[in-house]
Structure 1
């Protein structure tokens, strides 16, 4: 396990300060706010720690209410909404500086057998045939708003081996494309021992799921994203459904598409498949997508 992955696991290992109150550390992100995937994953960790171990998360629905402060800890308060025969429901509010910044509802289910079907996995190349982030991003360094952006992206994602199937949005500036994209991802190291729990794998996938989902919206308009300064954006809400067991330290295909954008918002949906073709999770997110306003300068 590399140091970056251990840092990510430490970030998700919340401190319990009361029966249903947890505190999580934060860290600098690519923008001047807490990374949305971090707060969503931490909130799910908090919810999961109040649920019996024989019940696994099967869905979450969340809203990003305020930008989080990456320089301050986040307090997560869990509401035990319901403990039923098969399902358990939890509500989590994340608070910083006395104000809620994030709200999550999550449902957990005891294992049971049921009817099975799924969409087929779309075609995708072998992940090992694709360039790593260290190989890919420097090719586009001249496009970024600042030369340090490449190093910041690589550092922020160093716990994850994430590989683009096609050119990322910043590689297609000014060239609108089909509003769909694919990435392969896995953790940069194997998980074992006490940390190797189904909940952790789900929380790690939740963390990654917010990294590239809105790319498909940008592709439809030939925009490169915040890194090149032609878009101002933020996640507004995020929902996930977990269908089948998976491991976040094994290759997962994240197939993403955008059905619509309007009113300064873009909608994206994703499907996460295991390498052997099982549909592991579904994701939907709406994000704020705006072209930055031109600033007038005095002569």
Structure 2
């Protein structure tokens, strides 16, 4: 089958290890099913894989990709793949399983014509969502859903700042927060991306580091070092930073004095559960909200797609169709 996969790691030039070619189709395994991939979307996780983060060299070659929507070959149903693979005996919140992994870490990923996943990890795709739209949900949109509605204490009418508005998780945070009745502000590096944040649903958009009209109840943080200080300064006393990523670096100054003096809360958030993914899809069905898709490309253009994501030249999600 045709697939895009990592053959080596390079922290400085991750795309050097990217290959596009033929890989073996998944073989049947008890308790697992094979999904014919109709659409898959890019995440920064794919670049981290090519840099060698979260994966060991003995697992190469590794097919990239976490997200997929397609056809369950065992049932013929249209499904969405939940990409968090928990241990065989784990029960409860999959994101808390210390042995969990994502597709493309221990198990081959979704940038391929077929992917094998635990049977419990496929969820029926709503007919209202296209395959491309559904493929945007399991990582970026699910992460945003959990940040806003599971791990923060935000309620409708309160205020939230979303840093780095053009990325997949950040743009999802803006759209979900707006539809949930929150007052949404966002930051972005260019005027075009600030306008895009308004299009996603932000009430106001600002340059990075800008002084806000007032302090907010919570900040959704995926950027890391470049925005961390601004996130802390933007919070009201007792406010929350919910962090799910650090694309600009993971070691900013801690500013502990500000955190303890203002009693700020720093909350980590990772992915989401199968149940939360089902709730997210129901929310989209009920509200008519849909993911913003920057572009849809054939799998053969995976290098172009990853280059665009690496350089930040995107607004929303990039989707690949095998």
Which TM bucket (shorter chain)?
under 0.3
TM-score (norm 1): 0.27
Q: Which has the higher helix share?
A: 2
Q: Which has the higher strand share?
A: 1
